[in-house]
A and B are shown apart, each in its own frame.
Chain A
């Protein structure tokens, strides 16, 4: 078994191209996610877009839901919203359960 130490970096921001490579999607699909408000990049035009933490994780989730379950962009947008709502409630519930 090989063992190696590598220097890890926190992924702070990705450009459109980097994000496409990151979640193995094409640009048109990512642009559509932005148009549906699923991803909120910083920057005024497509060339200068920078995607941050939440958007990166969301894009990955969106891509997997699309690939694995065949959900289209509007469906993915709805699923993600509901899932995030559910996660927030689970968190609250966990906090209440402690008391």
Chain B
């Protein structure tokens, strides 16, 4: 396992007061809280900060941690001194329920934590995680493999992290923000009780074409000037396949057209909204230039008429 410098994580000196540690933690917790900061790294950073604080906020654990000394300069692998923690009787402060920290933490601080009375026949705790899927997966349903790390108690009572893969069937029609429940896939009970449930909060990965709002999907649909002027049938993509769309005569750029029931499935199914965007062709041939010149001559059109002046 790798040594963790908890003081560095919180950005405090090794002799920082309990007050300074708490202040540093609060500041970083606000900065990296995954509900506030959606950046990809914030969740991991937040976890690191919490792990560091779990140890440094508790005088007993902090003293024990200080005994470990500093990171060995040579190797990446860290071994605690053989008799470490013998002198300290952990009174087993509360750890966040269901939270899994680094191997370093789990090995050194979680040892025996769930032994004895707390290991009764109770049900395991529920776990929460997030899953990012594509909009197409929500439309058709899909199967995803999910890697989970959960603490388990070994035969000699020590805690270790076990990785397991579960394959999750994404139910058709699931929306962003909804939860999927996987019964019995949460934290196992440390006694005879049943395991908790696993809840997955669904988010949609950014999509090059669609954006979702509930079951409705929004698409920006580029059309040619003559398609908008004359009103023509165009072919546009939807998650269910290509569909014909009738552009009304004299359609405006920014106009929204609704394709009923072509959004994510459900009762009722969502709609697809196409926002029209008129795109001009690049004029490169003499013929094309002549056509535009003809339009300029024959069509009395001032797009800036409404601007006054």
The residues of A with any CB-CB pair to B shorter than 8 Å are: 1-11, 21-22, 24, 53-54, 56-57, 60-61, 64-65, 68-70, 79, 83, 91, 94-95, 98-99
User: B184 near A6 (CB under 8 angstroms)?
Assistant: yes
User: A5 near B177 (CB under 8 angstroms)?
Assistant: no
- Complex Cα distance, B221 from A99, in Å, reads 11
User: B174 near A10 (CB under 8 angstroms)?
Assistant: yes
Shortest C-beta distance, A98 to chain B (Å), equals 6
The residues of B with any CB-CB pair to A shorter than 8 Å are: 26, 29-30, 33-36, 46, 50, 97, 126, 128, 163-171, 173-175, 177-185, 199-201, 206, 211, 218, 220, 277
User: B220 near A69 (CB under 8 angstroms)?
Assistant: no
User: A8 near B180 (CB under 8 angstroms)?
Assistant: yes
Task: Evaluate whether A9 and B277 lie within 8 angstroms (CB atoms) in the complex, with A3-B166, A4-B166, A98-B220 already known.
Answer: no
User: B171 near A10 (CB under 8 angstroms)?
Assistant: yes
User: B218 near A60 (CB under 8 angstroms)?
Assistant: no
Residue in B closest to A58 when the chains form the complex, CB atoms: B177
- Complex Cα distance, B144 from A8, in Å, reads 12
In-complex Cβ contact of A99 among B30, B165, B200, B220 (8 A):
B220
Contacts of A8 in B (CB 8 A): 168-171, 180-182, 200
In-complex Cβ contact of B168 among A6, A10, A22, A83 (8 A):
A6
- Complex Cα distance, B199 from A8, in Å, reads 9
Supplied contacts A2-B165, A8-B169, 13 more A-B pairs, CB within 8 Å: A6-B183, A6-B184, A7-B183, A8-B180, A8-B181, A9-B180, A10-B171, A68-B29, A69-B26, A69-B29, A83-B35, A94-B206, A95-B211
- Complex Cα distance, B26 from A70, in Å, reads 9
